[in-house]
Structure 1
């Protein structure tokens, strides 16, 4: 009996020690109704908000603003994927809901055919750049001022106009220009980088060259270039640049729509962004530009 009482006493003591250790020796905390702390709030602010897919074509300003928004949206907690493709597939991807955002739509002229075809299946939003330009461009050193005079220097140009991708609206307009002006030149399609590379080589050698180009574009800050007069107005009047999203995106992400509707750029801001990306690559260039222009981008994200 004495041994049994001793064993029970030891067992009771042991259970008391274990219970005290589990509770830290203190009574359980009082329920205050607080379900989180500062750390949890930070986690919620930086938590992944889902994936956003941006569709962009291979134009310098489109590459620039697509990467700029990728960096900004990732800072806000989104996962962002950029899909590179020609302009027409971008529209198709938006209509099918495979892409969320297309940052560049030229209206009312350049993208009018695509708008007429797809306008019922996209969401069109605000203007972020005003008064574009596009047409046939030559170096300033060339003694020519009008599209009408291109046939006079056909041999000097090797019978070629250097163009961009075949699916671009600018390419279609340039094909119309060839017909409208009875040009004895072939429109050679390639891509924006390939066109710029050929133009740059000719420019550095002070050789004649004619290319399809548009404003805004960083090359106008790097080279002394001029648009050829277009008396037939084949390339139309200046456009404004809008952005569009898939149907339903406004309901899914109203905060992004609010930010992007605040977005405005001019030749200086867009030109500096394109130059930064051209010098340092897409992600690094966009990140550098954002840090240098934090006050501006913060106004968009208010």
Structure 2
């Protein structure tokens, strides 16, 4: 089976599973948590990106177990998620990349949203290859198109990095196909290529656990299409701070360093026991009580 067909089939399977999970609407674990209180329901939307999955499950655990709220989580793509935030159908999104990646959504919906602040600094997007690949710049990709099967392995089609990569293809005159999929599709394809020591180029970003697992590098971007380092923001629907001031205050305090988020992402990505990510996040929360308590407004 050729590489493109394998990636496409894998992507279809994972995306189908993701859509089924997203259509379920609510998280598997709901309730008032260990506080014994019931202060209302917080709805959190997320995209199937590793840092967003990790932060969403951690915030879910904190809100339920320490603050007494019901939590409902829904996985979807970026475009419908921003539309839902703007219409008031979703309360919070923890994984908005600004000022570049999600600029188009903020331009469209920003007057109907609240920015609760930065939860992670100096994030980066771009094209990523294994370090053993013998090119260092996006400009070199056409000269090595055969070894890469003239394919860039992408993630979900609504992601900002995908539209930026489409721009990069135009700006650099790349004779490449951008193949959509999902975060898990991309990392599965990356693993397969690395295991065989083959060339592969993917849409990548930090923070991401794949940089801890494999020796990878960003391709230089001399035209600056992917921009400089970005920050990850917590975005809420309009009037959320008025409706749920305690939750808003907590989310405004919530921020993680590279080491903290990397550790949390690794805890979830490296688990082989089959535990639900919310349970893994609860375990991480219990091991980092001082940090978690510092986020919760008194």
TM-score range, shorter chain: 0.7 to 0.9
Does residue 298 in structure 1 map to residue 298 in structure 2?
A: no
Does residue 164 in structure 1 map to residue 155 in structure 2?
A: yes
Greater Cα radius of gyration, structure 1 or 2: 1
CA distance in 1, matches of 2:94, 2:39: 20
CA shift in 2, pair 1:228/1:44, >3 Å? closer
CA shift in 2, pair 1:192/1:290, >3 Å? same
Query: 2:191 pairs with 187, 200, 205, which one?
Result: 200
CA shift in 2, pair 1:157/1:250, >3 Å? same
**CA positional deviation for 1:236:** 0.8
Once the two structures are superposed, residues 98-157 of structure 1 have per-residue CA deviations (whole angstroms, 9 ceiling, x without a partner) of 101111111112111111100111111111111111100000011110000011111111
What is the root-mean-square deviation in Å for CA atoms of aligned residues? 1.4
Query: 2:238 pairs with 218, 238, 247, which one?
Result: 247
Whether the 8 Å contact between 2:98 and 2:233 is mirrored in structure 1 is: yes
Q: Unpaired runs of 5+ in structure 1?
A: 1-42
Query: 1:187 pairs with 173, 178, 182, which one?
Result: 178
Partner of 1:52: 42
TM-score by length of 1: 0.84
* Number of equivalences: 260
**CA positional deviation for 1:49:** 1.2
Q: Secondary structure at the match of 2:197?
A: coil
Once the two structures are superposed, residues 184-230 of structure 1 have per-residue CA deviations (whole angstroms, 9 ceiling, x without a partner) of 11110110000100001101111100000011111111110000000
Q: Secondary structure at the match of 1:130?
A: strand
CA distance in 2, matches of 1:66, 1:265: 13
Q: 1:68-83 alignment to 2 at 5 Å?
A: 68-75=58-65, 76-83=67-74
Does residue 223 in structure 1 map to residue 214 in structure 2?
A: yes
CA distance in 1, matches of 2:126, 2:90: 29
CA distance in 2, matches of 1:152, 1:176: 19
CA shift in 2, pair 1:45/1:70, >3 Å? closer
Q: Secondary structure at the match of 1:131?
A: strand
Q: Secondary structure at the match of 2:170?
A: helix
**CA positional deviation for 1:45:** 5.5
Partner of 2:126: 135
Whether the 8 Å contact between 2:34 and 2:64 is mirrored in structure 1 is: no
Whether the 8 Å contact between 2:34 and 2:68 is mirrored in structure 1 is: no
Q: Secondary structure at the match of 1:105?
A: strand
Does residue 270 in structure 1 map to residue 261 in structure 2?
A: yes
Partner of 2:11: none
Q: Secondary structure at the match of 1:141?
A: coil
Q: Secondary structure at the match of 2:255?
A: coil
Partner of 1:8: none
Does residue 118 in structure 1 map to residue 113 in structure 2?
A: no
Q: Secondary structure at the match of 1:132?
A: strand
CA distance in 2, matches of 1:197, 1:45: 39
CA distance in 2, matches of 1:152, 1:224: 23
Partner of 1:37: none
Query: 2:91 pairs with 92, 100, 105, which one?
Result: 100
